[in-house]
Structure 1
Amino acid sequence: MSRFPLVAALTALAAAGAVLVLAERFYRELEVRLAGAILDVITTSGVYVAGDREAVYFGLGGTTPFGLRMTPECSSAFLLLPLLVVSMAMVYFRPSNARRIFFSLGISALVVVLVNQLRILTIVGLVHWFGTDEGYYWGHTLLGSMVSVFGGAVSLVLFVWLSTRKKKA
């Protein structure tokens, strides 16, 4: 890879990281809207998304409505940053693999976003099954965190595997 495409690739990755950090509130709003859309499809109890507050409310048709607010530490935005940093290092040291690295980054980023949605759905399901106090505790503090950690690890392993595997001859 000549110098210009390498600089362009590294700049694009750095810019994506900067945009994630600077626009993380907007990104959280998008995540909440996606969660609301998924919940609207899979539940019948009523869903409302307050995007400007990064919150999704569910169970509106029942006796115990509940709302989740997406805080910065609950967003997948900061789980994407390590993937971007690793991508930058890999592109820098192996510029000939840039296309494969960008493909791997795209797949792994999608997995991170989907895992975070699964985490939200886990919280919603446990709140529905066990009630607000116990369900939120188990869904957010314990099981939700495990989903995030496991999903982040799977995403990172997937990224490394996809970006470094050898082509079949």
Structure 2
Amino acid sequence: MGLVLFLAGLGTVYAQDAVRKAEAETAAFLANTGYLGLNPADTLGSTVFLQMSPVEARGFIFTPECSSVFLIAPVLVIAGVMLVFYRRVSVKRLTGATLASGIMLYAANQLRLVMIAQFVKHWGVADGYPLSHRVLGSILVLGALLVAYVSFFVLVCRRRRPVQP
């Protein structure tokens, strides 16, 4: 099982193009729900095209650097290594912690794209994009990365305390 998780982490990096396309599809789905205040969206590969106004559409590309692949893959690799070399870890807890961390990081990256789209829609590319992508987006993803990794290790490494009579 540890080797499977380790190879899944490496395989995710290898297959990052497919993951980026899935991220684009997820972002388009979220935009098309109408709940986020975004206009209709469509995808082409790893690019999400969002309708900013009746006459303007913008393409947002999930590049390898902006994908959640390189956030999630280390969690899978660490989980695999822990399972192989640290025998006292519960497979059930490790699997749950890995899944929770992966979902958290994927969701944070989707939230980041929605935030960038909202900023570009309201303040334009010149003002909205640099602030939302470089500054706030980085803070959001780094915060999510911190929370996900700390949660992962707390969920995996905590021990049950005996009940005091």
Normalising by structure 1, we get a TM-score of 0.87
% identity of equivalent residues: 27
Cα distance, 1:164 vs structure 2: 1.3
CA contact (8 A) 2:47 2:62 kept: yes
Aligned twin of 2:131: 138
Aligned twin of 2:42: 48
CA distance in 1, matches of 2:22, 2:87: 32
CA contact (8 A) 1:47 1:60 kept: no
1:57 paired residue among 38, 49, 57 = 49
1:25 paired residue among 17, 42, 58 = 17
Aligned twin of 2:27: 35
Aligned twin of 2:114: 121
CA distance in 2, matches of 1:44, 1:92: 45
Work out whether 1:85 is the aligned partner of 2:82. Answer: no
Runs of 4+ in 1 over 4 A off after TM superposition: none
1:150 paired residue among 131, 135, 143 = 143
CA contact (8 A) 2:10 2:73 kept: no
Normalising by structure 2, we get a TM-score of 0.89
CA distance in 2, matches of 1:62, 1:143: 27
Aligned twin of 2:156: 163
CA distance in 2, matches of 1:10, 1:72: 26
CA contact (8 A) 1:66 1:132 kept: no
Work out whether 1:101 is the aligned partner of 2:94. Answer: yes
CA contact (8 A) 1:46 1:61 kept: no
CA distance in 2, matches of 1:135, 1:44: 15
Cα distance, 1:60 vs structure 2: 5.1
Cα RMSD of the aligned pairs, angstroms, is 1.6
Cα distance, 1:64 vs structure 2: 3.3
SS in 1 for 2:12: helix
Work out whether 1:68 is the aligned partner of 2:60. Answer: yes
CA distance in 2, matches of 1:10, 1:107: 17
SS in 2 for 1:96: coil
Cα distance, 1:44 vs structure 2: 5.5
CA distance in 1, matches of 2:39, 2:72: 32
CA distance in 2, matches of 1:59, 1:29: 19
Cα distance, 1:103 vs structure 2: 1.2
CA distance in 2, matches of 1:100, 1:149: 24
More helix by share: 1
SS in 2 for 1:138: helix
Q: Which segments of 5 or more consecutive residues in structure 2 lack a partner in the other structure?
A: none
Count, aligned residues: 159
Q: Which segments of 5 or more consecutive residues in structure 1 lack a partner in the other structure?
A: 1-8
